[in-house]
Structure 1
Amino acid sequence: MILRYFVSAGIIFFLAFSTLSAESASAFQGPGCMGECADCHKLTSEEASKLLKVEKFGAEIKEIKMSPVKGLWEVVFSKEGRTGSAYLDFGKKYLVEGKFTALENLEKEIEKSEEARALKKVDLKKIPLDGAIVLGDKSAAKKVIIFDDPDCPYCQKLHEDVKKIIAKRKDIAFYIKLFPLPMHPDAYEKSKTIICEKSVKLLNEAFEGKALPKATCKAEEVDDNIKLAGELGLHGTPAIILPDGTLIPGYMPEEALIKLIDGEPQQGANKGEKKQETGVGKKTGKKTDKKADKKAK
């Protein structure tokens, strides 16, 4: 799914893979509407484009149709040859992200998702580290790569854990590749500023929510990182790549992350512990570890 690739921070989102509240559910109902929903509710491509601001991200709307769930339109997006769907309520106030899964298929879908995630590995040779921001000793035996967004709340949370880890483990170093998501409109310029200076101090200040100066160079590495993330199949932040190339798509608590870095099996590591913001991603099942911009700061 590529929804978040197109969504700006100005849109009011509602991520609903848990039970919808009564207040939210009421927004999906059209008062006084009888018969077919399409008879009462209309949404044109032009209106959807304006509401979702897709043109800002170089995307276009390919199709609008009624979703499998009443009260929602399915809006099909396209960008750079990739397509994905989003769901907009009839009240035109909420955007619902994800995939509808029939409850009878829920267990199988969750198992498939967990298996795919557990087996995911990245080719480390494809990731240049020359321009990465290094936290820890460059000569450390264990190198961990993190694709971060400076405005991602879970990246900020992980960053605090990373500082704790390098303080007590001199054999672990973290290489930060900045990967700003379109859902954070200021993250791109912040990433450029940090990369231009190769500054851990600026990275810290970004995660502290402080204003950063303008970039002093073109910082083409930011665009290179975005392209690389797509080639590696990274759909959100944080994305942690262990020394053996294993991909952890999302936040991991300090102690659990240390065990994974040390090669220790972590029971339940793939069951609800990871949290991630996504610009390009897919979701399966009743729960998802790729959550939106909730108040995690």
Structure 2
Amino acid sequence: MKKTIVIMMTILTGLALLFVAETGASAFGGCEQDCGKCHSLSKGEAQETLKQLIPDIKVLGVRMSPSRGLWEVSLETHGKKGIAYMDFSKENVIIGQIVKIKTKKNLTRKRLMELNSVDFAQIPLNDALVMGDPNATYKVVVFDDPDCPFCAKLHKELKKVVEKRKDIAFFIKLFPLKMHKDAYRKSVAIQCKKSLQLLEDAFAKKDIPDPECKTDIIDKNIELAGKLGITGTPTIVLENGKVLGGAIKAGQLIELINDKGNGSGADETKK
């Protein structure tokens, strides 16, 4: 008899648990659509937890991540902004990227672009090299180094974009990196003539003549890049303030230019 009672109790317990799993109901409360009703993580808590791994970390904000069960923590360290994910137990941190399987969209990259966005209006365009119609509807800034091989690859893609879309123009700011010893001289020479052809000659590794003028534009470009947090080339800045790094294919670049949206999903917690 006792054995039968134990079996019945086991079955009833299993059915009860199954019901909870199917309905989301629980006598002890449960998380449905809004996990924030049950779980919380303040900026202060995130700061104290993460500084055990990165002592000089500064937590900028906390919000729910696109993946349930994880907090998204926006942070800054060594002058760089980034994202980490922390589980609801607050014991584990994930450094990586979240990709939506159905759409193949990199959600982490999208958030990083939003997080590192800049004020496009701060960038003067009158001294830039222009590829395309200066009065085009869509204006895109590109920080280039004449000795950067990835800049050369991107340049070819920019030309494809302009050939395909007359309503897009690229404003190229010469930003020589210290690691390229002759890039500053070449940048000044190219800027003096404000010549796209000379820039393309540099990308083709042709000899670039010495500068024919004196200009402080290159120094101003370097200073501007520092203020905007730009440290590498090529760097693309869209009108909505989003910053893209690396050589991007023409088709993908057109998609990003067409997407004027600045929506960032869930709101940051203000704790």
Give the TM interval when normalised to the shorter protein. 0.5 to 0.7
What SS does the aligned partner of 1:204 have?
helix
Match of 2:180 in 1: 184
Match of 2:121 in 1: 125
Q: How many residues align?
A: 165
- For residue 213 of structure 1, the aligned residue among 196, 209, 212 is 209
Q: Letter of the 2:226 partner, please give it.
A: G
Match of 1:95 in 2: none
Q: Does 1:171 align with 2:170?
A: no
Q: Letter of the 2:223 partner, please give it.
A: K
Match of 1:144 in 2: 140
Instruction: Return the offset for 1:105.
Output: 6.8
Match of 2:190 in 1: 194
Match of 1:107 in 2: 94
Q: Distance in 2 between matches of 1:121 and 1:177?
A: 18
Match of 2:245 in 1: 249
Instruction: Return the offset for 1:219.
Output: 2.1
Instruction: Return the offset for 1:116.
Output: 3.2
Aligned-pair identity (%): 49
Match of 2:11 in 1: none
Q: Distance in 1 between matches of 2:114 and 2:246?
A: 13
Q: 1:107 to 1:216 in 2, by over 3 A?
A: same
Q: Distance in 2 between matches of 1:171 and 1:121?
A: 23
Q: 1:106 to 1:203 in 2, by over 3 A?
A: farther
Unpaired segments of 5 or more residues in structure 1? Answer: 1-82, 85-103, 266-297
What SS does the aligned partner of 1:184 have?
coil
Instruction: Return the offset for 1:117.
Output: 3.5
Match of 1:258 in 2: 254
Q: Distance in 2 between matches of 1:171 and 1:117?
A: 23
Aligned residues of 2:201 and 2:208 also touching (Cα < 8 A): yes
Deviations 1:210-237 (A, max 9, x none): 1110001122100100000000000100
Match of 1:3 in 2: none
Equivalent runs, 1:1-297 vs 2, <5 Å: 107-108=94-95, 110=97, 114=109, 115-263=111-259
Q: Distance in 2 between matches of 1:204 and 1:165?
A: 16
Q: Distance in 2 between matches of 1:204 and 1:171?
A: 22
Q: Letter of the 1:185 partner, please give it.
A: K
Larger Rg: 2
What SS does the aligned partner of 1:213 have?
coil
Q: 1:264 to 1:230 in 2, by over 3 A?
A: closer
Instruction: Return the offset for 1:253.
Output: 1.1
Match of 1:274 in 2: none
Q: Distance in 2 between matches of 1:153 and 1:223?
A: 22
Instruction: Return the offset for 1:110.
Output: 4.9
Match of 1:21 in 2: none
Instruction: Return the offset for 1:120.
Output: 2.1
Q: Letter of the 1:190 partner, please give it.
A: K
